[in-house]
Amino acid sequence: MAELRRDPIVGRWVIISTERSRRPSDFLSMPAHPVSAGPCAFCAGQETRTPDEVLAVRGPGSAPNAPGWSVRVVPNKFPALRIEGELEPTGEGLYDRMSGIGAHEVIVESPDHTASLATLPDTHLAAVLGAWRDRMIDLQKDKRFEYVSVFKNHGEAAGASLEHPHSQLIATPMVPLAVEGELEGALRHFRIKKRCIWCDIIRQEMHAKVRGLGRLILGEGGFVALSPYAPRFPFETWVLPESHRSSYEEMGGGELLALARVLGDVIRRMDRVLSDPAWNLTLHSAPLKTPALDHFHWHVEIAPKLTRMAGFEWGTGFFINPTPPEEAARYLREGVPKGP
Amino acid sequence: MAELRRDPIVGRWVIISTERSRRPSDFLSMPAHPVSAGPCAFCAGQETRTPDEVLAVRGPGSAPNAPGWSVRVVPNKFPALRIEGELEPTGEGLYDRMSGIGAHEVIVESPDHTASLATLPDTHLAAVLGAWRDRMIDLQKDKRFEYVSVFKNHGEAAGASLEHPHSQLIATPMVPLAVEGELEGALRHFRIKKRCIWCDIIRQEMHAKVRGLGRLILGEGGFVALSPYAPRFPFETWVLPESHRSSYEEMGGGELLALARVLGDVIRRMDRVLSDPAWNLTLHSAPLKTPALDHFHWHVEIAPKLTRMAGFEWGTGFFINPTPPEEAARYLREGVPKGP
């Protein structure tokens, strides 16, 4: 069973595997991708090879854990955290730990092994985004959980270990440090200005756009995509609702379709400009147990994997980004690759 | 010229290259390592191929920028930040930026292209550690700088782009976010307990060691190496002085030799246990302009590059570590590899 442990200095929680722990030799013999002939466990017709589904978007008359679905959510077969048990917060001198309780689920985005978010129809992508929402709403009922992190690794360089298109979610009994940092910074801004900082950012970027400048990539149907002012990574992109909303769970069906249009468009632009890069996506929404927050604005962060993080970055939290966001935004707006 | 920009939400500063900025096609044609026959610019006899040295440990009678040195510090030929100019803090609506002022230097650790920290004699490694210190002391005189980040990327997987053994330093007009986070967390602890949290950690780990448990790897000559309680990475290791010291710059010659013994020993143990892994090292010392701090304890963090950071990690700051630190410490204490 895994353990959740807190760094006593900075307060960062980490998940430590104690059961299937990796010995030194395991790192040496890290396998190349398991290549198997035939369909994978996420393909249509292979439903019995996964744990039972917790959610599926299915055609009328199709049975659970059988073909006929377009989006399917299953528990991760090798979860980082386990759903069964009590939290049992324990002290050990200076240190704090908790049993490794959480949910770790896989959102299979299509029955087709070769599909991708870039090629799915908008309505299908909206169903994926709806599955994220519906799982968050369901997991919110579990009083042990404070947060649901939804993320997607696309491509091997981004850490994807399976080819079949899928995203993941991890529900945890604490709010992740990165989101805590955003909540604190945004609250500081709100206390002084009485305004949401992301609303302010959108306003400033829209105003810059009028002058033909700035970092806005596109805006459509109530959603905007932009290059942030101080991105950690080249072509880092944020997608967010134009009007203030703190919780992703509250998105209605029409909004999800509009979000799918913008998100799909952004991914296709990245594919064109950067020749199908690997990328990571994370959804930042308000913590589960908070009421609607005036100072937090949910958003999606996408970063293509173009550079390698080295010692300076992880050791200091200081990033060196070789592409100014104004240029990244211009390339993504124009959407055409520049040849060498 | 580069620019320093601040994320308005979390306060993270990033370095944005605006001069030699990377276009999309530059990422596509990312070169494999430039392979060149013959000695590299850091090799003995090639001194004129680098900018003029700012420090060198030399035999008597040898001339600057000529052979006869054992450790040599030169400005980075392609610096992330530039030493010339004024800071010019500027606002742009919500956003804050500053001209890309800083120092970026390379510490060439040996004239021998094939040397490594694992094989250098302790006295030579102590001279490298002394060069870090002496450059920090010198850069401290520049009133524009708040912090000097010393780091080393060893091996291509860790981001090293040159084979010749070297470390780097970047002096910046602000304290990096990761160090700010440590300073805040440590001050919180100090305000309640009136004790340094790292001193508390060392005490607790030494006490655990008496009982044959815990995460201490080795302790010798006033320095300890340990696996932290909540490590982000498998085999992450911290090296720190046993008694309280906030600033690395204050280390005397005898202390640097003792540190070299422990650090060299740790690196050789990692090499044996993990078969010469790539690794990153960062030095965390108190900010340049602070007096001696009761709540901060300087330390070195080393992390072998064994796993890939994926979306969950960078998006949330939540890490999944497959090796419990107690096991990592045991392997490193025993120092022998385990075969498959």
Token pair 């204050």 is at which residue? B250
Q: Point out the residue among A151, A274, A325 whose CB comes nearest to the CB of B315.
A: A151
Can you tell me the mean pLDDT for A44-61?
96
Residue B308 included in any domain: yes
pLDDT score of B316: 82
* Last residue within a domain, chosen from B177, B212, B227: B177
> For residue A30, is pLDDT > 70?
no
Residue B183 placed within a domain: no
Is B81 in the same domain as B9?
yes
Span A106-122, pLDDT tens digits: 999 999 999 999 999 99
Give yes or no: residues B141 and B263 share one domain. no
Element (H, E) at A97: strand A95-99
- Domain range for residue A144? 3-16+40-177
Res. A35 pLDDT band, cuts 50 70 90: low
Residues B147 and B258 in one domain: no
CATH number, domain of A80, equals 3.30.428.10
- Looking at the structure, tell me whether residues B157 and B205 fall in a common domain: no
Q: Is residue A82 over pLDDT 60?
A: yes
Would you call B311 and A338 a contact, using CB atoms and an 8 Å cutoff? no
Q: Which helix (H) or strand (E) element contains residue B193?
A: helix B177-193
B27 and A234 in contact by Cβ < 8 A? yes
Considering A122, A147, A177, which residue would you say is the last residue of a domain?
A: A177
Mean pLDDT across the stretch B58-73? 96
Which chain B residues touch A317 with a CB distance below 8 Å? 12, 176-179, 181
- Does A197 contact B306 at a Cβ distance shorter than 8 Å? no
Distances (CA, A) of A15 to A80, A89, A251, B229: 7, 14, 30, 11
What average pLDDT does chain B have? 92
Q: What is the arithmetic mean of pLDDT over A75-79?
A: 92
| Same domain, residue pair A63 and A131 | yes
**One domain, residues A151 and A230:** no
| In the predicted structure, residue B339 carries a pLDDT above the cut 50 | no
Q: Which of A250, A254, A217 is nearest to A122 (CA)?
A: A254
**Is the pLDDT assigned to residue B37 strictly greater than 80?**
no
Q: List CB contacts of B188: < 8 A, sequence separation 6 or more.
A: none
Residue-level pLDDT at A337: 58
pLDDT at B57: 97
Q: Convert the pLDDT of each residue in B106-155 to its tens digit.
A: 999 999 999 999 999 999 999 999 999 999 999 999 999 999 999 999 99
**Average of per-residue pLDDT across B289-302:** 96
Closest C-alpha among B337, B184, B203 to residue B268: B337
Distance CA B222, CA A116 (A): 56
Global pTM value: 0.93
Q: How large a percentage of chain A has pLDDT more than 70?
A: 93
pLDDT computed for residue A308 by the predictor: 73
Distances (CA, A) of A128 to A57, A119, A154, A258, B211: 9, 13, 15, 13, 52
Domain match, B319 and B200 both? yes
- Min mean pLDDT across A205-209, B120-124, B149-153, B312-316 is at B312-316
Lowest mean pLDDT among A9-18, B120-129, B163-172, B264-273: A9-18
Dist CA A173 CA A160 (whole Å): 25
Q: Which residues contact A128 (CB under 8 A, 6 or more apart)?
A: A71, A107, A109, A117, A120, A167, A260
Question: What pLDDT band is residue A340 in, cutting at 50, 70 and 90?
Answer: very low
Q: Are residues A241 and A329 in the same domain?
A: yes
Torsion sign across C-alpha atoms B15, B16, B18, B23 = positive
What pLDDT was estimated at residue A98?
Answer: 96
Q: What is the DSSP string of A143-191?
A: TT-SEEEEEEEESGGGT----S-EEEEEEESS--HHHHHHHHHHHHHHH
Residue A98 distance to chain B (closest CA, Å): 12
> B272 and B132, same structural domain?
no
Q: What is the pLDDT of residues B202-257, one digit of tens each?
A: 999 999 887 767 899 999 999 999 999 999 999 999 999 999 999 999 999 999 99
Mean pLDDT in residue range B2-17: 94
- A262: pLDDT strictly greater than 90: yes
Rounded to an integer, the average pLDDT of A31-57 is 85
Up-side HSE of residue B8: CA atoms within 13 Å toward CB? 19
Chain B, 42 to 81: residues with Cβ < 8 Å from chain A are 80
pLDDT of B214: 87
The residue among B16, B28, B334 with the most chain A CBs within 10 A of its CB, best to mutate, is B16
Numbers of helices and strands, H then E, in chain B: 7, 15
Please compute the mean of the pLDDT values over residues A16-38 and round it to a whole number: 67
Whether residue A318 and residue B176 make contact (CB cut-off 8 A), yes or no, is yes
Q: Is pLDDT of B340 > 60?
A: no
B29 pLDDT tier (thresholds 50, 70, 90): low
pLDDT at B338: 47
CB contact under 8 A, A25 and B340: yes
Indicate whether A151 and A8 sit together in one domain: yes
DSSP result, A105-140: EEEE--S-TT--TTTS-HHHHHHHHHHHHHHHHHHT
Q: Classify residue A311: in a domain, yes or no.
A: yes
Instruction: Establish if A35 belongs to a structural domain.
Output: no
Neighbours of B188 (CB within 10 A): 14
Residue whose tokens read 């550690």:
B129
User: For residue A13, which residues of chain B lie inside 8 Å, CB to CB?
Assistant: 230, 318
Number of separate domains in chain A? 2
Residue A28 falls within a domain, yes or no? no
* Percent of chain A's residues with pLDDT above 90: 81
- Select from B1, B19, B27 the residue whose CB has the most chain A CBs within 10 Å, as the one to mutate to test that interface: B27
pLDDT of A181: 94
User: Quick one: pLDDT at residue A338?
Assistant: 47
pLDDT band at residue A23 under the 50/70/90 scheme = confident
pLDDT at B34: 52
For residue B273, the chain A residues in CB contact (below 8 A) are 24
- Which of A177, A205, A221 terminates a domain? The answer is A177
CB pairs under 8 A between A and B: 294
Range of weakest confidence among A184-198, A200-214, A281-295, A307-321 = A307-321
The answer to the question of residue B291 being in a domain is yes
* Average pLDDT value for residue range B304-329: 84
Residues B76-91, mean pLDDT to the nearest whole number: 93
Q: Helices B177-193 and B197-210 sit at what angle, rounded to 10 degrees? A: 70
* Sheet of strand B216-220, all strands in order from the earlier edge strand to the far edge: B55-58, B69-75, B103-108, B166-172, B147-154, B279-284, B299-304, B237-241, B223-226, B216-220
How many other C-beta atoms can be found within 10 angstroms of the C-beta atom of residue A325?
25
**A268 shares a domain with A150:** no
CA distance linking residue A61 with residue A195, whole number of Å? 49
Q: Which of A24, A170, A337 is facing B312, going by the closest CB pair?
A: A170
Instruction: List all residues of chain B from 140 to 199 with a beta carbon under 8 Å from chain A.
Output: 149, 151-153, 158-160, 168, 170, 172, 176-179, 181-182, 185-186, 189, 197-198
Chain A neighbors of B153, CB-CB under 8 A: 310-312
Residue range A130-150, pLDDT digits in tens: 999 999 999 999 999 999 999
Same domain, B126 and B263: no
A31 CB within 8 Å of a chain B CB: no
Task: Please check whether residue B132 lies inside any domain of the structure.
Answer: yes
In chain A, which residues have their Cβ closer than 8 Å to the Cβ of B317? 12, 176-179, 181
Q: Which of B318, B321, B330 to probe by mutation at the A interface, max A CB count within 10 Å? A: B318
For residue A339, pLDDT over 50 is answered with no
**Integer Cα distance of A125 and A109 in angstroms:** 8
Look up the ipTM and state it.
0.91
Mean pLDDT, range A167-183, rounded to an integer:
95
**B182 assigned to some structural domain:** no
Mean pLDDT value across residues A2-19: 91
